[in-house]
Structure 1
């Protein structure tokens, strides 16, 4: 909320707040039935005492503009304008009935709280500002001339960037790609959206990992797909589960994150990789490899990708710069058969007329410079340090209460809480104590897990974050 009350005005602050909210209600920003921000949250946003917000809401309540409902808080009155007012669209119903499903309530809560409150963030899957490449971007924009045409570019993305990504794939991921078979996307998530929308139909059966990031994405259900879950252990999925599902349900596509899997950090075993590729080529089942983390390997210069082992063209390779350079750059890509890439590019063109040339230019300049290798080296060292710090903190404060696999790359650590927990209640306790993370059920069916992300958090806050979680867990046990 950008608006703030004018403390120099003769109008009392609570009346200013009431007038401002009434204006937003009147112009339709807060339709009838909308839940207004809580008194606690609004007082924090406006930097006023909670009692001031209480008085503002009382002012609106006295005018019949808002009402209080038990369990819902303060909502805009459904009969605010009386019977003489013309009917307005039922926005609430339209929101509920749209075909593209909203995020789960828990994910929306986590994002809202992490964004609006002063919490130590173990939830966000992005890099901290000091680990992103911002300093290099400033250098590029200050020292290098921008001579690109600022207009619509090639539907697959800028050619120079695709050429640079092809070189990057060969050097860092052992993938031999042609620029004509690469599509630039707005991060990996748009890549997955395009694949789902263009290559699959409602009712199709797909296989995804359990737990997995894909499980948290509503785009599969929005598209009417039937997802079947492949259990993941410390060595990845069991390939024979794909065969079983295919025999029963005719699997149309498999989505895998084989390197430093999100959330459990595992690496798909080499023999299992070979078996997955054998199954893919034998049954003709496409594999979508989502690979955001392979170049973050802490102790190895390079980790093999499925695509680098693909001899039959059955793997669609998806990656991005979000987890290794900067999430806000919004540069991702798909590499696959040229006909598929052209189909997906046509769909992307219909959605956004292609990618913006400015982030493409920055990405190209950075990836093709010596600075990229220096940044990657620093990133690996920093993430490894954060990993070690969070592992130490877990052993030191929760040694006999959690179990976890120590990841060898990536930005996540997946913890099994040995105690019987109510995920929502434990998360509430943690937020009260100033730390936020993602409960395990967001990623699959496994019970009693939490995902801590160490990519965004500052090193000096890690021990304190685990301490706050430990206090929350102990408090939760006492409450029970």
Structure 2
């Protein structure tokens, strides 16, 4: 046979062989009741071990499309298209062939491990339940009878909530907009997905920060986009790097997280914000500003968002209540030109017929209440305490073996250790020792980094977790 398995493919060779034979059976290359090559001969022809062929044939037997008969070898089922033959779909192949890619196995492993109640969770990017305004939200439900229509709402989201968000971003972030320019989404993740699917096409070049949580998202690869990295330092990205990328690759869109960036915790310098806006206007490149954290500044001062400085409509602005109120509320929004918002709303309606009415109602009530400002003040002070707990613990437990920039807001800190340390081995040892973090290579191109998220755990748990992390480092370095 002319076909050979691809040894550079991530799919195991035995699965490639099984898929090839299954396709041959479906197309008639291997007719019903025909004898397949012997395991030994097929192994020789394909240049693989006989055990590989055995595994491939075992998979086909399990699917019910081939049969092993003593004395006559492996044959295609005689009743493969018969009315009495029951075939099991090759679900493994369906799962692998889907166009939307899964998270990396390591990301899936971390998410599975953090369900362990004995683990100090410094990996999950969410708030502690104690930082969520549960009492205030319960009071809203008790004091305000819900009388809204539970049918489908406006494609862009509830009009009252959009009007409230328009006022909210004007008051807290100096962003001037109107309800027609706002789309309610299921958090920032859906907002990013809609933008990628609706405004870009396969082969387009986009720029993302390095490191960035966007680096870990399969949605860019699923959409067939080419991603190029913008290095992040203590002041954010360098606008000249964006110019260089555009000259080489014709960048179509830029994704930025300017305030208390995930994972570095850094803030994009004001002068660099202005220069990036100038480049956007000069070259006509849209900027996607993802802003989940700006209201968490520990000193209460909110930096000018790119959108508040945008006089030309070049910025699509994403924010949500996930990182400042409650992740489970699933309320996010996009602000942008009306024609873009309408396009994204049309796509969202095709997916879910618009956002759920009930959480929109709760969000509207809370944003309009005096409780919101009180909650933000408390959130800032509590996050600052957790920030102090993690920075002091790292200095005490690790000394000069770790480097980091102390965040002034947000919930993330990026630590740098000896790059010769295998971060996956370190994660494995850390989980074994009772603490989880996110290896930096999931979020960027450089080795020797790890992200600690301190919004999920209490200060005493954070101290315990860093002590466990330091012990794991000692174990794998033997000192």
Provide the residue aligned with 2:97 in structure 1. Answer: 97
TM-superposed deviation, 1:446: 1.4
SS at match of 2:107: helix
Aligned partners of 2:59 and 2:336: how far apart in 1? 53
Provide the residue aligned with 1:474 in structure 2. Answer: 474
Residues 63 and 88 in structure 2, CA contact (< 8 A), matched pair in contact too? no
Q: Deviations over 1:304-346 (max 9, x none)?
A: 1111111111000000000000000000000000000000000
Q: After superposition, where does 1:201-240 map in structure 2 within 5 Å?
A: 201-240=201-240
Residues 401 and 419 in structure 1, CA contact (< 8 A), matched pair in contact too? no
TM-superposed deviation, 1:78: 7.7
SS at match of 2:183: strand
TM-superposed deviation, 1:478: 2.0
Aligned partners of 1:311 and 1:81: how far apart in 2? 60
Q: Deviations over 1:39-66 (max 9, x none)?
A: xxxxxxxxxxxxxxxxxxxxxxxxxxxx
Provide the residue aligned with 1:161 in structure 2. Answer: 161
Provide the residue aligned with 1:192 in structure 2. Answer: 192
- Give the alignment's TM-score, normalised by structure 1: 0.82
Aligned partners of 1:419 and 1:303: how far apart in 2? 33
Residues 208 and 227 in structure 1, CA contact (< 8 A), matched pair in contact too? yes
SS at match of 2:372: helix
Aligned partners of 2:300 and 2:280: how far apart in 1? 28
Q: After superposition, where does 1:49-448 map in structure 2 within 5 Å?
A: 86-116=86-116, 118-418=118-418, 420-448=420-448
TM-superposed deviation, 1:370: 0.3
Q: Deviations over 1:381-407 (max 9, x none)?
A: 000000011111011110111000000
SS at match of 1:115: coil
Runs of at least 4 residues off by over 2 Å: 76-86
SS at match of 2:127: coil
Q: Deviations over 1:244-292 (max 9, x none)?
A: 1111111100000000010001100111111000000000000000000
SS at match of 1:106: helix
Q: Which is further off, 110-119 or 363-372?
A: 110-119
Residues 63 and 89 in structure 2, CA contact (< 8 A), matched pair in contact too? no
SS at match of 2:114: helix
Provide the residue aligned with 1:451 in structure 2. Answer: 451
Residues 403 and 418 in structure 1, CA contact (< 8 A), matched pair in contact too? no
Q: Deviations over 1:395-435 (max 9, x none)?
A: 11101110000000000010001352111111000000111
Residues 289 and 306 in structure 2, CA contact (< 8 A), matched pair in contact too? yes
Q: What root-mean-square deviation, in Å, do the aligned CA atoms of Structure 1 and Structure 2 show?
A: 1.7
SS at match of 1:319: strand
Aligned partners of 2:450 and 2:328: how far apart in 1? 26
Aligned partners of 1:189 and 1:293: how far apart in 2? 15
Aligned partners of 1:118 and 1:79: how far apart in 2? 42
C-alpha change, 1:312 and 1:81, in structure 2 (3 Å) is closer
Aligned partners of 1:86 and 1:116: how far apart in 2? 40
SS at match of 1:254: strand
> Can you give the 5+ residue segments of structure 1 that lack an aligned partner in the other structure?
1-32, 34-68, 70-75
**Aligned pairs, how many?**
406
C-alpha change, 1:252 and 1:77, in structure 2 (3 Å) is closer
> Can you give the 5+ residue segments of structure 2 that lack an aligned partner in the other structure?
1-14, 16-50, 52-57, 68-76, 78-84
- Give the alignment's TM-score, normalised by structure 2: 0.83
C-alpha change, 1:228 and 1:80, in structure 2 (3 Å) is closer
Residues 390 and 454 in structure 1, CA contact (< 8 A), matched pair in contact too? yes
Provide the residue aligned with 1:14 in structure 2. Answer: none
SS at match of 1:455: coil
Aligned partners of 1:77 and 1:134: how far apart in 2? 51
SS at match of 1:130: helix
